[in-house]
Structure 1
């Protein structure tokens, strides 16, 4: 009960901070996202048993350069690297192979590909044609919240078949389908209020959020199981996983 109250309170604080930063200004959004990125890198270093400031320096430099030149070819190159790396992590997840990071060089590379580049793109999401659009990132957060909430509710009440028991025994196929369905429904409803993108675009975004979000949770769970860590983070980072 105490853990539930602790998680609920920290989650509420996180949501208030993040939404306030998004709506206040682009600078506050960038600053808060950078802070969360640094915390996430620190926590991931603990999972990997890796001590280095190089990841923090690399993240700062990469985020600064991408914000300065969001239309440069470097963005496309980093996107390709991230997609290839993510595909390999997914392959290791489903093939049940261990995600190897035995030396400092491999741990540094894994941190950059898995976290640093991901947070760089998170910073860039609300920027389109040099304009800051806070409602774009807010709607994506709503889709994530809807997917996670209904995946939990449907899974808890109707879940019988395990989705990936060896990595995350609590996730069920029914929960995944429930989260996906309500995320798509929410995407459809959003398209009627925010007409910057078509209904099909919002539905595709909802599917990506649901599927990739679930796979991302499973990959993270695999990292923690390999490190024999039950939870990554005490308060705030655990809530960041839902976003």
Structure 2
């Protein structure tokens, strides 16, 4: 035991006993090195959110090199997000994971391979499956939780399917750029709000969001989306501006929506899978509402046949 260094750190009682007790320390050189590391942490250890964000962009960009690999990534996202939702609402003894997974992936495959003409089919099959399963295997007293499973189908299933729909019809590059546009909005909103934010956007749901940050994110994100649409879509200037603003706006609403769900069940994050970001649902919540809005617009504008 390094007695001298120990004595510097802890005072002794009159009887010579140290408080809070005897602690074995490394030698002088090792202890000094540990202290230096703590005083000067590396970029990776002190900025987990930034590092995770950059890693996610690289992974998503690599997977969106073609349609097949991008679809595989969406399936993986569906698997992970379903597990998060399954654990959040404690479905273990209520609803089987494969049935909830159907709600996540069936709309995606239908939208990707068959388009909007058959998009209603998963929404007809899932309720039947839930009713048959619960009527056969489940006792009374748990039906109040089934509403969350239908919410998952409507929110996550539709959102992921909309992303897959654009992936197949407009290609991986267009879809990838729209995905990261929401991240650009998030970064702009966070940085501007952190420096200049005064008024809370929705204190009861997301206390860290400010009106000033929201406005900055909406402005920067909409400009980015506008240039993406300008390159890929043949629509009028007014339509581009409107679509750009609504796409980013509904992204923020999607984020607030998921935050409200988490608060209702007293959760901060859907999981700890992504350091600094929470879970998969925390990372994709905005896109799950933005893409369905864009699907509606391009469908009504007859851009997709």
TM-score in same-fold range (> 0.5): yes
Instruction: For residue 163 of structure 1, report the CA deviation from its aligned partner.
Output: 0.6
Q: Does the CA contact (< 8 Å) of 1:158 and 1:174 recur in 2? A: yes
**1:18 is aligned to 2:60:** yes
Q: 3-state DSSP class of the match of 2:223?
A: helix
2:151 to 88, 110, 117: 110
Match among 65, 84, 87 for residue 43 of structure 1: 84
Show the counterpart of 2:187: 149
Q: Distance in 2 between matches of 1:141 and 1:58?
A: 22
**Paired positions, count:** 217
2:134 is the alignment partner of 1:70 = no
Find out whether 1:185 has 2:238 as its counterpart: no
- Structure 2 CA distance for partners of 1:186 and 1:55, relative to 1, 3 Å: same
Displacement of 1:240: 3.6
User: Which SS does the other structure have where 2:115 is aligned?
Assistant: coil
Matched, 1:5 2:5: no
RCO comparison, higher one (Cα < 8 Å, 6+): 1
Give TM-score scaled by structure 2 length.
0.63
Structure 1 residues not aligned, in runs of 5+: 79-100
Provide the C-alpha distance between the structure 2 equivalents of 1:76 and 1:206, rounded to a whole number of angstroms.
Answer: 30
Q: CA deviation at 1:152?
A: 0.8
Gaps of 5+ in 2: 1-40, 124-141, 275-279, 288-305
How far apart are the structure 2 equivalents of 1:43 and 1:37?
Answer: 10
Report if aligned partners of 2:201, 2:211 keep a CA contact under 8 Å in 1: yes
Counterpart of 1:93 in structure 2 is none
SS in 1 for 2:157: helix
Cα deviation 1:182-205 (Å, max 9, x = unaligned): 123223444554464444343233
* Residues 7 and 235, structure 1, Cα contact 8 Å, conserved in 2: no
Change (3 A) 1:240 1:5: farther
Would the aligned equivalents of 2:181 and 2:221 in 1 still touch at CA under 8 Å? yes
1:66–1:240 CA distance, 2 compared to 1 (3 A): closer
Task: Name the residue aligned to 2:205.
Answer: 167
CA contact (8 A) 2:82 2:100 kept: yes
Cα pair distance change 1:205/1:55, threshold 3 Å: same
2:205–2:256: 8 Å Cα contact kept in structure 1?
A: yes
Check 1:242–1:219 CA distance in 2 against 1; reply closer, same or farther (3 A cut): closer
Q: Distance in 2 between matches of 1:189 and 1:227?
A: 39
Q: For the structure 1 residues 46 and 3, does the alpha-carbon distance in structure 2 shift closer, same or farther, using more than 3 Å as the test?
A: farther
Once residues 70 and 143 of structure 1 are traced to their aligned partners in structure 2, the CA distance between those partners, rounded to angstroms, is: 24
Q: Is 1:28 paired with 2:88? A: no
Point out the more displaced range, 47-56 or 154-163: 47-56
Q: Which moved more, 1:30-39 or 1:187-196?
A: 187-196
**In 1, distance between residues paired with 2:155 and 2:46?**
29
Shift in CA distance, 3/104, structure 1 to aligned 2, threshold 3 Å: farther
Q: Which has the larger radius of gyration?
A: 2
